[in-house]
Structure 1
Amino acid sequence: MSQIDRYFERYGPAYKWYATGASMVATISVVLSTTIVNVAIPAVMGTFGISAVQAQWISTGFLAAMTATMLLADWADRAFGMRATMNAAMAVFLIGSVIGGLAPNESVLTFARVVQGAAAGVVQPMAMILLFKVFPPDKRGAAMGIYGVGVVLAPALGPWIGGVLMDAFDWRSVFYLGLPFSAIAIVLSNLFLPGREDSGKRPAFDFVGVAILAIFLSVLLSTLSNAQRLGWDSNTILLGFTVSASASVAFVLWELRTPKPMLDMRLFASFAFSSASVVSFIMGAGLFGSTYLLPVFVQQIQGLMPTQAGLLLMPSGFAMLLVFPIAGRLSDKVTPAIMIGIGMAVFAWSSWLMADANVHTAFWTLAWLTVLSRIGLGLVFPAITSGSLMVLPHHLLGQGSGAVNFIRQLGGAFGVNLLTVFIERRTIMHADAFAATQTSDNATAMELLGQVAGLMHASGVPDAQLMPAAASFLGQTVVIQASNAAFQDGFMIICGVFLIALIPTWFMWRAGKSTA
């Protein structure tokens, strides 16, 4: 009798729901932390005096670490058992939360986020494995639907909860929110999660593959972040690109030759799966990139409070909650590639509309555009899973499922990083272009300086300080307009990337037809 059978004997049929609840608490705690910190980015930048590129590591470090450890879950379950693995992961996550709340500088804060991300990468796949163990095949769909409610609602509520905490306390409080969830998850894990089933020798793990992957992610993301500051043709940056390229080649070669690969390269022999992987990467980049950009945009450009920035994303989470079950049923009847194509086109359309956003754009206009984008993603999510796995042989389904999630998270890490670097470069370019036009020949600029100087004179500013103060105001206006234009460029880039994603979607459709 397996340990899960013993749990069923002890708790009866209700045990599967106890196990689901335990896994949901753990998952919600780590998923919540994925988005809750985004509303704190401007405040962290002000506290530590860092740039947007440095601050984005608070999000990118989490996603990169989560990506690197995501493929460890299956091995950890077989080597240590689900209970011990979940306890260890939640304990590490709890420690990372405490370090983040107490961080004295941005380096310690980034380290804390990496620790949190490493734990989160193990927790999410572990919860999926548990649900597949405790539910019979004909009930797994319903279980995934209930589990998906928590997974979808957590990132939707995260920014709002983070904003409320920041307005009431400060940005450090968003890290402490995970402490009670982590403690409860550890208690429930000890009550309802099974231990290791096999008492034999622990299975070997691809530690070399993990090390190479970690080098690739850390070096490439760090190189991209520092390229603007150090120069794209500097020796340090060129060396970083060389090391990351070498690491990527070494990772592929190692995974092809090792008997226990972390990522089975046979998966990509299927052209349909490879196409689906490209789409999944782009989807992750768009989802996490836009979720990162929006709160920063509305706080820096529109001057919204953190709570308002969090509220902006809440309707979109509820929209995904409604779209998920409908899209799931449609994906059983409609070719997955068609669903993916429609979803990608909808997301691209919403990004194109978002590219017109400025300081005057109404709150609810931005909220509904975000809802539109999430409707598109809601159509893509179930279709990308079924479309990528249906083309694989049965013995590769486990590896395929992990690979799709891994690639989506990888896209998220790169999406946040590249968008931040892009916006910084475009802000500088627009600022230089706008500043070059603010001359004595520019009648509009001269009129603005005169009006500002008049207002300051009326408020009692000494005459000697009127023009310098007016010029300072003009400079701040130029910076805000340049930043606004850069964010608009960022949304347009997201639109273009999702339109390009229609090409691999078409290949996926053709490959699916040929194998049908």
Structure 2
Amino acid sequence: MKASSGSLSLLRERYGERYRWLVLLSVMVGTMASIMSSTIVNVAIPDMSHYFTLGQERAQWVSSGFMVATTVSMLTTPWLLARYGYRATYAGAMLLLLLGGVGGGLAQDFGLVLAARVAEGLAAGVVQPIPAVIILHAFKPHEQGRASGVFGMGVVLAPAIGPSIGGLLVDWFGWRSIFFMVVPLCLVSLWLAYKFIPVTAPGGVKADRQGDALDWRGLVLGTMGTLCLLNGLVSLHGGSAGEAEALLLGAVAAVACFIAWQYRLIHQDRKPLMDLRLFQYKQFAMGSVVAFIYGTALFGSTYLLPVFMQLGLELSASMVGTLMLPAGLVLAATIALVGRLADRQPAHLLVSVGLALLALSFGLMVFVSLGASLWILVAFAILGRIGLGFILPSLNLGAMRPLEKSLISQGSSTIGFLRMLGGAAGVSLCGIVLEWRLVAHGVSLVPGASNPARVAAFGETFLMLMLLCCLALVAALQLREVKSAP
């Protein structure tokens, strides 16, 4: 294919007004694959832990390792888009995700499984900021909510259906089979990329392969800070106090050095990994706070809920997937509806309603007992997914609409980075709090030996997530539109 055939102007001329929707569809398929790779493994964690004889702390790195890789690689998306354009960046990430899925399914050692998860996480981190960039560049302001709703509805269908299919695959074929579920989506996304996605960089400008070099020093500092933070959280419970203190201090030092280095690059008129001028916009600053706390609660619960159903309530993997399916379908419908509301209603109102519903769903999990009706679990899960449906289309738009066009790709990757950093911390935090409460109740997570004390430990961990959502709600109320950007 000739390079000129991938130019934005030629593709627009060929497909007309519907072209922007075709681009959105193309990146939606890849984002579906990346999100499915993030969430579907949770259904298989108990079987994988048994196969490799893993403890709780090592098992959670299957999820948190993915999150760390995703978090760090998100910061590289603006540079990759400017240097290589939409098509090469997107297709390269999809190829890496494909290789990670195949490698994880064939791996015979837990280290190789973890490496495959890291590869998938790196790919997911590059892909996930791209849709918001496209929506804010290609769609008019009064259409952006609708586009976000349509995109979000499509994206959540994959993780909604994925755990149900994944649960059946785990029961029938073992945990390895769930790694291969992303393969068809990756292949389709690669075909769509070379058909519809332009070779240009954001804004329609030509990709600059001779542009600024990647801020490797900032990337190393960001990676060090993330790893120190997560390992420090784990050491707070499982390690020594001295080790935890050293790691957390290391995280603080790395963040301080990262911020100082980013400011230095800005003053030298060079391209920083994270443009800190974004935080001069009040809506973006408040949206970032919400994104971090919300990510902690969201990804922590995504890890915790399947483990609770299997090891707390002693349900099979296939039953867990089936119970989560109705909530996923409701989430898809809610996102489509709220996407249209986001064009007319203030973002802070929609985000606040969503966080309140999500907090309520976590609080209600305390009342789930060992013999509770399965319909109660379904109802609580649906309530939480309705809350997510209010947050997902609204948060990015509310935070990034005031940004200058030149800052949109930076804004998308930064808010995604903070959300995923919160998510990675949330997975670790849930594992730590759960282990702490299990010890306090004098029980463990031995399969087939659940009791009310174990269920109570899970309930107290859900209460921690509820408190985090309430904290995010305070920040969301500050996400009000201002008359003019600074």
- Which TM-score applies when normalising by structure 1? 0.84
Partner of 1:221: 230
Partner of 2:203: none
Partner of 1:327: 338
Partner of 1:70: 74
Counterpart of 1:203 (choices 203, 212, 225) is: 212
In the TM superposition, what is the alpha-carbon distance from 1:141 to its structure 2 partner?
Answer: 4.6
State the alpha-carbon separation in 1 of the partners of residues 365 and 50 from structure 2. Answer: 26
In the TM superposition, what is the alpha-carbon distance from 1:69 to its structure 2 partner?
Answer: 1.0
- Cα shift readout 1:37-66 (whole Å, capped 9, x = no counterpart): 010011111111112221111111111211
Partner of 2:164: 160
Partner of 1:94: 98
Counterpart of 1:181 (choices 181, 185, 192) is: 185
Q: 1:514 to 1:493 in 2, by over 3 A?
A: farther
State the alpha-carbon separation in 2 of the partners of residues 358 and 174 from structure 1. Answer: 30
| Kept after mapping to 2: 8 A contact 1:277/1:407 | yes
Amino acid aligned to 1:344: L
Q: 1:375 to 1:33 in 2, by over 3 A?
A: same
Partner of 2:472: 501
- Cα shift readout 1:278-318 (whole Å, capped 9, x = no counterpart): 22211111111112111111111222111111122222222
Partner of 1:144: 148
| Kept after mapping to 2: 8 A contact 1:343/1:380 | yes
| Kept after mapping to 2: 8 A contact 1:4/1:134 | no
Partner of 2:305: 294
State the alpha-carbon separation in 2 of the partners of residues 39 and 476 from structure 1. Answer: 17
Aligned-residue sequence identity (percent) comes to 36
Q: 1:187 to 1:352 in 2, by over 3 A?
A: same
| Kept after mapping to 2: 8 A contact 1:78/1:203 | no
Partner of 1:104: 108
- Cα shift readout 1:18-39 (whole Å, capped 9, x = no counterpart): 4333322222211111111010
In the TM superposition, what is the alpha-carbon distance from 1:348 to its structure 2 partner?
Answer: 1.5
Q: 1:138 to 1:4 in 2, by over 3 A?
A: farther
Q: 1:483 to 1:19 in 2, by over 3 A?
A: same
Bigger radius of gyration among the two: 1
State the alpha-carbon separation in 1 of the partners of residues 399 and 51 from structure 2. Answer: 44
Bigger mean CA deviation after superposition, 336-345 or 190-199: 190-199
Partner of 1:358: 369
Counterpart of 2:239 (choices 217, 230, 233) is: 230
- Cα shift readout 1:69-125 (whole Å, capped 9, x = no counterpart): 113222212212222222221121122112211222332222211110000111222
1:482 aligns to 2:453 (yes or no): yes
Bigger mean CA deviation after superposition, 57-66 or 85-94: 85-94
| Kept after mapping to 1: 8 A contact 2:281/2:485 | no
Bigger mean CA deviation after superposition, 338-347 or 137-146: 137-146
Compute the RMSD of aligned alpha carbons. 2.8
| Kept after mapping to 1: 8 A contact 2:81/2:207 | no
Partner of 1:239: 246
Q: 1:120 to 1:515 in 2, by over 3 A?
A: closer
Amino acid aligned to 2:415: V
How do residues 308-457 of structure 1 correspond to structure 2 at under 5 angstroms? Answer: 308-392=319-403, 395-431=406-442
State the alpha-carbon separation in 2 of the partners of residues 186 and 324 from structure 1. Answer: 26
State the alpha-carbon separation in 1 of the partners of residues 209 and 310 from structure 2. Answer: 55
In the TM superposition, what is the alpha-carbon distance from 1:422 to its structure 2 partner?
Answer: 0.8
Q: 1:272 to 1:6 in 2, by over 3 A?
A: closer
- Which TM-score applies when normalising by structure 2? 0.89
In the TM superposition, what is the alpha-carbon distance from 1:391 to its structure 2 partner?
Answer: 4.8
In the TM superposition, what is the alpha-carbon distance from 1:9 to its structure 2 partner?
Answer: 3.9
Bigger mean CA deviation after superposition, 68-77 or 396-405: 396-405
Amino acid aligned to 1:418: L
Partner of 1:461: none
Q: 1:345 to 1:185 in 2, by over 3 A?
A: closer
Amino acid aligned to 1:38: N
Classify the secondary structure of the residue corresponding to 1:262: coil
| Kept after mapping to 1: 8 A contact 2:36/2:159 | yes
Q: 1:79 to 1:270 in 2, by over 3 A?
A: closer
Amino acid aligned to 1:330: L
State the alpha-carbon separation in 2 of the partners of residues 383 and 19 from structure 1. Answer: 21
Counterpart of 1:54 (choices 58, 65, 68) is: 58
Partner of 2:117: 113
Partner of 1:441: none
State the alpha-carbon separation in 2 of the partners of residues 352 and 135 from structure 1. Answer: 38
Partner of 1:248: 255
Amino acid aligned to 1:269: Q
- Cα shift readout 1:478-497 (whole Å, capped 9, x = no counterpart): x6443222101111111122
1:491 aligns to 2:462 (yes or no): yes
State the alpha-carbon separation in 1 of the partners of residues 448 and 85 from structure 2. Answer: 57
In the TM superposition, what is the alpha-carbon distance from 1:199 to its structure 2 partner?
Answer: 5.9
State the alpha-carbon separation in 2 of the partners of residues 60 and 490 from structure 1. Answer: 17
* Structure 2: gaps of 5 or more residues: 201-205
Bigger mean CA deviation after superposition, 251-260 or 382-391: 382-391
Classify the secondary structure of the residue corresponding to 2:468: helix
Partner of 2:264: 257
| Kept after mapping to 2: 8 A contact 1:162/1:310 | yes
Partner of 1:453: none
Q: 1:489 to 1:139 in 2, by over 3 A?
A: closer
- Cα shift readout 1:174-232 (whole Å, capped 9, x = no counterpart): 0011122222322332233333534662333222111111111122212322443322x
Amino acid aligned to 1:314: L
State the alpha-carbon separation in 2 of the partners of residues 170 and 39 from structure 1. Answer: 11
Classify the secondary structure of the residue corresponding to 2:175: coil
| Kept after mapping to 1: 8 A contact 2:146/2:336 | no
How do residues 454-473 of structure 1 correspond to structure 2 at under 5 angstroms? Answer: none
State the alpha-carbon separation in 2 of the partners of residues 489 and 389 from structure 1. Answer: 35
State the alpha-carbon separation in 1 of the partners of residues 197 and 348 from structure 2. Answer: 37
* Structure 1: gaps of 5 or more residues: 435-472
State the alpha-carbon separation in 1 of the partners of residues 368 and 155 from structure 2. Answer: 29
Q: Which has the higher contact order (CA 8 A, sep 6+)?
A: 2
State the alpha-carbon separation in 2 of the partners of residues 189 and 476 from structure 1. Answer: 46
In the TM superposition, what is the alpha-carbon distance from 1:11 to its structure 2 partner?
Answer: 5.0
| Kept after mapping to 2: 8 A contact 1:428/1:482 | no
| Kept after mapping to 1: 8 A contact 2:133/2:408 | no
